[in-house]
Structure 1
């Protein structure tokens, strides 16, 4: 797969996520998918995403940076959202927060096989802490 092809495929994958088009997820994610070193498979991957959208109803994956060295893709994703309840151990409760995720993908046969994700959880905690201090 060439660099333009894998980048186009990745953008279609992000579009699939943003539309919560779970019926199409298997076009992008391998049945044997791994997330941060743990095999979760396609079904586990979908459950993880569905849980994310339940916790963050207005979740939108925004591509901030995107690089490819096939079969690998690296992305910095940006989120600006209003989670319900807790997020990453912080009581967000509908407060608007912004954070980023640095994520690395390995594709095999045109599908995501491995995902390594690092989310800036401290940014969320800092925003929640600052907001609660401002409420005092």
Structure 2
């Protein structure tokens, strides 16, 4: 895949995340994906997104910056949501949250095969 095709795929993946289209999200992920050095199944990967959405039902990922060199895509995301459940010791008090997320994805055959990422989750405690 070239850079344009990878970015197009990633934008569609983010739209699926924001739409909670679990079947489509799974379709963007390889059956086995390396996440921060840990091998995960497609189901585990999607379940991790589901866990985030359980705590923050309106969680949204907004793409801010992209650096790419196929097969890699590096992104800066601005994430927002409302805390409905306990997270990092803070009760579900319906407070709005926002944070920044930085991730590097390796894409092969239009699927995420590797992800290295971090979010400023300390900001989600405020």
TM-score scaled by length of structure 1: 0.85
Point out the structure with the larger strand share.
2
Match of 1:133 in 2: none
How far is the alpha carbon of 1:89 from its aligned partner? 3.9
Whole-angstrom CA distance in 2 between matches of 1:75 and 1:88: 24
In structure 2, stretches of 5+ residues that fail to align are none
Aligned residue for 2:60, secondary structure, equals coil
In structure 1, stretches of 5+ residues that fail to align are 129-136
Larger Rg: 1
Match of 1:134 in 2: none
Whole-angstrom CA distance in 2 between matches of 1:26 and 1:94: 29
Match of 1:30 in 2: 30
Contact 2:26 2:46 in 1 (8 A): no
TM-score scaled by length of structure 2: 0.91
Q: How big is the alpha-carbon RMSD for the aligned residues of Structure 1 and Structure 2? A: 1.4
Point out the structure with the larger helix share.
1
Runs of 4 or more above 3 Å deviation: 88-92
Q: Give deviations 1:66-96, integer Å, cap 9, x for gaps.
A: 2211100111111121112333344452111
**Is 1:75 aligned to 2:72, yes or no?**
no
Question: Compared with structure 1, are the counterparts of its residues 89 and 103 closer, same or farther at alpha carbon in structure 2 (3 Å cutoff)?
Answer: farther
